[in-house]
């Protein structure tokens, strides 16, 4: 139970549903409610497809190009750490992605689905948390369900974006994003140390 909770917290941090709220508000500004709902649905489905693909095929791709999973774990941990640092010290996730908003019908895919929801960090995390050498099929299935549950939360947050934004404001979303970044940085360091341990057989 503790493992499932820690996995949920990890993916909640890396996907950051709360940080997606300002992005969703920006990309759907002036749209009708029905269109906003349609964009939220499309963004969630695309994100689910991308992250599930990395769960299923991520390790297979690595093996096909002969990259040790431990090396990917170290590289992924470093990328996750840099991603976390950008959330903590640089422009927060909401600010950076709101700035990338562009007009057009495909806002559900960019920047909403990618990189706001299915971020590079989330893709790496999906691979690292479902390694065939460490996790059984049952555990991988549970992780996939956890990912989908976080995406469902992100979907609900997008539907309630206006109300939530009025409650916490842009500054509140920025604070939450930085806290999530700190959690993510801790997980990233753990992944790097674990990868080094496996690679050097310590």
The ranges assigned to domains in the chain are: 2-199
Q: Between vectors from CA 55 to CA 59 and to CA 7, what angle results, nearest 5°?
A: 115
**Structure confidence at residue 155 (pLDDT):** 97
**Structure confidence at residue 102 (pLDDT):** 54
Residues in the chain with pLDDT values less than 70: 1, 90-105
**Structure confidence at residue 92 (pLDDT):** 55
CB atoms within 10 A of CB 28: 23
C-alpha distances (whole Å) from 52 to each of 23, 67, 156 are 23, 21, 20
Contact 84, 185 (CB under 8 A): yes
Question: What is the Cα–Cα distance from 139 to 158, expressed in whole angstroms?
Answer: 29
**Structure confidence at residue 104 (pLDDT):** 46
**Structure confidence at residue 149 (pLDDT):** 97
Q: Checking phi first, is residue 139 left (phi over 0); if not, alpha (psi -120 to 50) or beta?
A: alpha
CB atoms within 10 A of CB 128: 24
DSSP classification of residue 104: S
**Structure confidence at residue 94 (pLDDT):** 56
């Amino acid at each position: 139970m503790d493992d499932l909770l820690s996995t949920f917290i990890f993916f909640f941090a890396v996907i950051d549903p709360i940080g997606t709220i300002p992005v969703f508000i920006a990309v759907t500004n002036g749209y009708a409610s029905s269109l906003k709902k349609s964009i939220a649905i499309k963004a969630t489905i695309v994100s689910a497809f991308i992250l599930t693909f990395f769960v299923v095929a991520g390790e297979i791709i690595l093996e096909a190009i002969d990259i040790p999973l431990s090396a990917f774990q170290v590289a992924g941990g470093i990328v996750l750490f840099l991603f976390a640092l950008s959330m903590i010290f640089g422009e927060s996730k909401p600010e950076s992605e709101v700035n990338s908003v562009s007009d057009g019908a495909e806002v559900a895919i960019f920047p909403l689905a990618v990189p706001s929801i299915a971020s590079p960090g989330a893709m790496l995390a999906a691979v690292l948390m479902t390694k065939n050498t460490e996790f059984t099929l049952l555990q991988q299935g549970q992780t996939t369900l956890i990912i989908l549950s976080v995406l469902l939360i992100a979907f609900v947050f997008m539907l309630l974006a206006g109300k939530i934004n009025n409650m916490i404001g842009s500054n509140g979303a920025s604070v939450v994003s930085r806290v999530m970044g700190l959690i993510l940085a801790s997980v990233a360091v753990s992944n790097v140390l674990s990868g080094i341990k496996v690679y050097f057989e310590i």
